[in-house]
Amino acid sequence: MSIAIITGSAGLIGSEASRFFASQGLEIVGIDNDMRRVFFGDDASTTWNRQRLEKDLGEKYTHVAIDIRDREAIENLFKQYGKEIILVIHTAAQPSHDWAARDPHTDFSVNANGTLNLLEATRNYCPEAAFIFTSTNKVYGDTPNRLPLIEQETRWEIDSNHTYVNGIREDMSIDRTTHSLFGASKVAADVLVQEYGRYFEMKTACFRGGCLTGPNHSGTQLHGFLAYLMKCAATGKPYTIFGYKGKQVRDNIHSADLINAFYEFFKAPRISEVYNTGGGRYSNCSMLEAVQLCQEITGKEFKPEYSETNRIGDHIWWVSDNSRFCEHYPNWKMQYNVPKILQEIYEFNKERWANDTD
């Protein structure tokens, strides 16, 4: 029996990974205790997604509602399955830099200590397994905001002569920058994953994602920009854009495209790799552009409120350069751009949202 342990298995990336790798013949052990509900409230609970997983995957999926901060519980789980574990996908996290400032101890213990527990359990019980970590572009802090940006009608854009015109590479420094407390806890986890790879020759990879999105996202005000934006557009709930005239740019990668990247790494894993992974030039938008797309898809007028206050550590312009990953794994290709992503989010959720209007 070949097992994949997937943390955050009821979340966006975890659930997509569970379905995909179950379809590839692996037995899935999903770790998720619905901390998203604790972080963001009942609307962000992932219970509905866990129930769908259990129904759809049946015996291929075993759910374990433990906390990744519980070192003993994690060790016991890994000890139970041992070397049958051939893949660990770590997606569980406290994902919001706004929320992290409210409770830094919880943020750091989930993101950093939880990751350490998983790495050490992998090293002790299944050292040959591929270990995939969903890191974040917030490890670069606000350094991207020092790039030469030009204001256009609906977005900020980088100077066409700059070395990052095709996207930001992994050679951007993570030093001398404001990370936010969330960014700092993810930096700690990111460096741990790299170091376990180098020091113990483990097959680890940090995927530094931009905006990860898709129809299974339990989007909320503090996390899940596209999913929550579309939910507000469809239901009439208020939405607030913070700063930068609403022209801040995000690249957005669909969960299915990200899981396909995970699969390429899993088939030919490398030691201690780091990849910026996002929609890149293929799939990106500004807030204003996303609002317009939401209006076109829903057929409803949508006018978010605007606040002049910029969010701490927020990026004015982020587009990932995926070329390092593509060089290592040339078979990987993205299938979803922003309009296709938003259309799918709307079609998948409109019935579920029908009873959630103001």
Nearest to 17 by CA among 36, 31, 33: 31
pLDDT band at 124 (very low <50, low <70, confident <90, very high): very high
Q: Which residues of 137-163 are buried (b: 16+ CB within 10 A; e: fewer)?
A: bbbbbbbbbebebeeeebbbbbeeeee
User: Taking a C-beta distance cutoff of 8 angstroms, is the pair 136, 124 a contact?
Assistant: no
Nearest to 134 by CA among 314, 258, 280: 258
Give the contacts of 251 (CB within 8 A, at least 6 positions apart).
167, 210, 211, 278, 279, 280, 281, 283, 284, 318, 319, 320
pLDDT band at 358 (very low <50, low <70, confident <90, very high): very low
| pLDDT greater than 70 at residue 223 | no
Average pLDDT for the chain: 93
- For tokens 């669909």, the residue is 254
- Which letter does DSSP use for residue 175 in this model? S
Higher local confidence (pLDDT), 277 or 42: 277
Query: Which segment of 290-299, 308-317, 349-358 scores lowest on mean pLDDT?
Result: 349-358
- Across the range 255-274, mean pLDDT stands at 97
- What's the one-letter identity of residue 24? Q
Residue 336 confidence (pLDDT): 97
Query: C-alpha distances in angstroms, 12 versus 91, 188, 253, 276, 339?
Result: 9, 23, 12, 19, 19
User: Taking a C-beta distance cutoff of 8 angstroms, is the pair 234, 346 a contact?
Assistant: yes
pLDDT band at 222 (very low <50, low <70, confident <90, very high): very low
| pLDDT greater than 90 at residue 297 | yes
Query: Topology of 3-353 in CATH?
Result: Rossmann fold (3.40.50)
* Percentage of the residues of the chain whose pLDDT score is greater than 70: 96
User: Taking a C-beta distance cutoff of 8 angstroms, is the pair 333, 284 a contact?
Assistant: no
- Which letter does DSSP use for residue 310 in this model? P
Beta bridge partners of 4: 28, 87
Higher local confidence (pLDDT), 52 or 36: 52
pLDDT band at 220 (very low <50, low <70, confident <90, very high): low
* Percentage of the residues of the chain whose pLDDT score is greater than 90: 83
| pLDDT greater than 80 at residue 216 | no
pLDDT band at 225 (very low <50, low <70, confident <90, very high): confident
Residue 95 confidence (pLDDT): 85
User: Taking a C-beta distance cutoff of 8 angstroms, is the pair 183, 138 a contact?
Assistant: yes
| pLDDT greater than 70 at residue 320 | yes
| pLDDT greater than 60 at residue 219 | no
Query: Which segment of 19-28, 40-49, 90-99, 330-339 scores lowest on mean pLDDT?
Result: 40-49
pLDDT tens, position by position, 88-123: 999 999 988 788 999 999 999 999 999 999 999 999
pLDDT band at 218 (very low <50, low <70, confident <90, very high): low
Give the predicted TM-score (pTM) of the model: 0.93
pLDDT band at 354 (very low <50, low <70, confident <90, very high): confident
- Which letter does DSSP use for residue 236 in this model? -
- For tokens 């922003």, the residue is 338
Residue 357 confidence (pLDDT): 47
